[in-house]
């Protein structure tokens, strides 16, 4: 089945230790998104790629970076995680930006910072 896969499902990192979360998709969608979701809150968009074009949200901290080496994979790098970065990180894809832009989500990676 076509899907969005996130690895790992659970990640524990130490305060200040760089961590990378990964996302892959078999849907061949043009757009990939990264969201941060804290407990009992709405998902908050961090950035998205339309093909190779990177779009950063204005309020996304510089601590968060992303890479999309090819259509299928997208990575979220947190350079120096703080305690406030503990959250669920959701990857999503959509076929396009304007039409058919319903999003397909992966199961998420729950990040714990110790």
Partner 1 sequence: SQQGEEDPQALSIQEGENATMNCSYKTSINNLQWYRQNSGRGLVHLILIRSNEREKHSGRLRVTLDTSKKSSSLLITASRAADTASYFCATDAGGAGGTSYGKLTFGQGTILTVHP
State the residues that interact with partner 1 by CB under 8 A: 4, 6, 31, 41-45, 48, 50, 55, 88, 90, 92, 94, 96-98, 101-108, 110
Strand partners, 94: 31
Between 79 and 110, whose beta carbon lies closer to partner 1?
A: 110
Between 7 and 41, whose beta carbon lies closer to partner 1?
A: 41
CB within 8 Å of 20: residues ≥ 6 apart? 75, 76, 77, 78
3-state helix, strand, coil in the chain (%, to 5): 5, 50, 45
* Closest distance to partner 1 from the beta carbon of 58 (Å): 11
Between 43 and 81, whose beta carbon lies closer to partner 1?
A: 43
* Closest distance to partner 1 from the beta carbon of 67 (Å): 20
* Closest distance to partner 1 from the beta carbon of 86 (Å): 14
């Amino acid at each position: 089945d076509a899907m969005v896969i996130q690895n790992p499902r659970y990640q524990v990192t130490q305060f200040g230790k760089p961590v990378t979360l990964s996302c892959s998709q078999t849907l061949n969608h043009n757009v990939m998104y990264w969201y941060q979701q804290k407990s009992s809150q709405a998902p908050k968009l961090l950035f998205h790629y339309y093909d190779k074009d990177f779009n950063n949200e204005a309020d996304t901290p510089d601590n968060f970076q992303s890479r999309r080496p090819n259509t299928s994979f997208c990575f979220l790098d947190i350079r120096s995680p703080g305690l406030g970065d503990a959250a669920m990180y959701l990857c999503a894809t959509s076929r396009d930006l304007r039409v058919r832009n319903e999003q397909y989500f992966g199961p998420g990676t729950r990040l714990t910072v110790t």
